[in-house]
């Protein structure tokens, strides 16, 4: 009798588990999506592709720039445009840490910022949001002058 009542519960648990896994990528896949997105964002600087850089910005992006705060895609883009004018990138970055919320909708990436010679000149922390078009867009970015011991 206990087995008879437990069978429907087992079927429901299995069906829900299957549905959750079928809905979207698992945590490792989400982390890799965000890591790849951050790497492509950084590549836009190295390739001097300002339009590509802007394509990663959320309309609501907030970038901390020294003592000021840049709000919105247009303000961030205009402040960052001078970094794209020289033939060589003034700095580079790469994610060392990437974490994604269990909801799969918000992520953090962070890592070192390096000068053209490869020396660490700071750290960045970015928050990414999975937006309605299914693309990861940066919503917050903050750098610091601290470098980890290497």
**Residue 78: CATH number of its domain:** 3.10.450.50
What's the pLDDT tens digit per position in 46-101?
999 999 999 999 999 999 988 899 999 999 999 999 999 999 999 999 999 999 99
Question: So what's the pLDDT on residue 100?
Answer: 97
In a domain, 95, yes or no: yes
Q: How far is CA 55 from CA 110, 113, 139, 149, in A?
A: 20, 21, 12, 33
Number of folded domains that form the chain: 1
What's the pLDDT tens digit per position in 9-30?
333 334 434 444 445 679 999 9
Where does the chain have alpha helices with state H? 2-23, 27-46, 50-55, 73-80
Range(s) of the domain holding residue 62:
27-144
For the chain, give the longest Cα–Cα distance: 77
């Amino acid at each position: 009798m206990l087995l008879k009542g437990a069978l429907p519960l087992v079927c429901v648990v299995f069906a829900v588990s299957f549905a959750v896994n079928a809905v979207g990528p698992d945590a490792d896949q989400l982390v890799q999506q965000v890591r790849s997105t951050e790497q492509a964002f950084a590549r836009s600087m190295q390739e001097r592709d300002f339009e590509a850089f802007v394509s990663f910005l959320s309309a609501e992006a907030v970038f901390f720039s020294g003592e000021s705060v840049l709000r919105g895609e247009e303000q961030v883009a205009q402040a960052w445009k001078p970094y794209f004018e020289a033939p060589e990138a003034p700095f580079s970055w790469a994610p060392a840490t990437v974490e994604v919320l269990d909801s799969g909708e918000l992520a953090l990436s962070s890592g070192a910022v390096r000068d053209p010679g490869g020396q660490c000149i700071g750290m960045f922390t970015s928050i990414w949001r999975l937006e309605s078009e299914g693309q990861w867009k940066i919503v917050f970015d903050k750098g610091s002058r601290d470098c980890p011991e290497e």
